[in-house]
Amino acid sequence: MIVSLNGRLLEVTETTVVLDVQGVGYEITVTSSVLKKLPSQGQELQIQTYLQVRDDAFVLYGFSSPEERSLFHKIIGVAGIGPKLGVGILSNIAPQDFIRAVQQQDLATLTSLPGIGKKTGERILLELKDKFKGIVPDYDSEGDDLPIVSGSVFEDAVEALQALGYHGSEAERMVNLAKPHLKENYNLQELLKVALAQNGQQRGERTWRRNG
């Protein structure tokens, strides 16, 4: 399974990008969040990917983060939703709003999305209603910080921080604070290191302001 690609950006269309990875061009159908953050053509780009193996083709789909890909996996786990529709859903609604719609059983929001009729919307609500329990999306954000989705490295980091004694909400705050400071190809150990460092820095700044 190809889970990520890192290469030089060659081409961009309304729904796809082409990456040159060591001389091989890969066409990837991507979400709108990927398209919004593309570098200039010729620059390096890393994309989280999902490979669909069909009888007539191998099709790559791309995402802006491991969390977005994890949410995609949950969406295509719903009966009747394939990868193409899954990418279409994520391209037309913010992950926070999608999760909120499922949590609140908001069928109207789901059926407003392209390709989602009443029956499909009802299946989404039924099959995903237990998948997002305990997740509190940041509805006031601009969408750069995705909610921590089950099965992602960020959820693993939250659990590791809780094992160190941090409360759930504090652990989630630390992980979200670490996201902008992560380098490419980070792992759980690197994520925890950055989260603890950023948390220590913030505490130091708060102490300095109080004493200043």
Which tokens is 148 given?
Answer: 């921590």
In a domain, 148, yes or no: no
What's this model's pTM, rounded to 2 decimal places? 0.64
Domain that holds residue 85: 66-128
In a domain, 140, yes or no: no
Q: Let me know the angle formed at the C-alpha of 154 by 208 and 33, rounded to the nearest 5 degrees.
A: 100
- Per-residue pLDDT in tens (0 to 9) along the chain, 212 residues: 788 999 999 999 999 999 999 999 999 999 999 998 899 999 999 999 999 998 888 999 999 988 899 999 999 999 999 999 999 999 998 888 898 889 889 999 999 998 999 999 999 999 998 888 766 555 444 444 455 555 567 788 888 988 888 877 778 888 878 877 777 667 888 889 988 988 877 665 444 444 55
Which tokens is 84 given?
Answer: 């193409």
The amino acid at 11: E
CB proximity list for 142: less than 8 A, separation 6 or greater: none
Closest to 100 (Cα-Cα) out of 68, 125, 70: 125
Same domain, yes or no: 112 and 164: no
Last residue within a domain, chosen from 12, 33, 63: 63
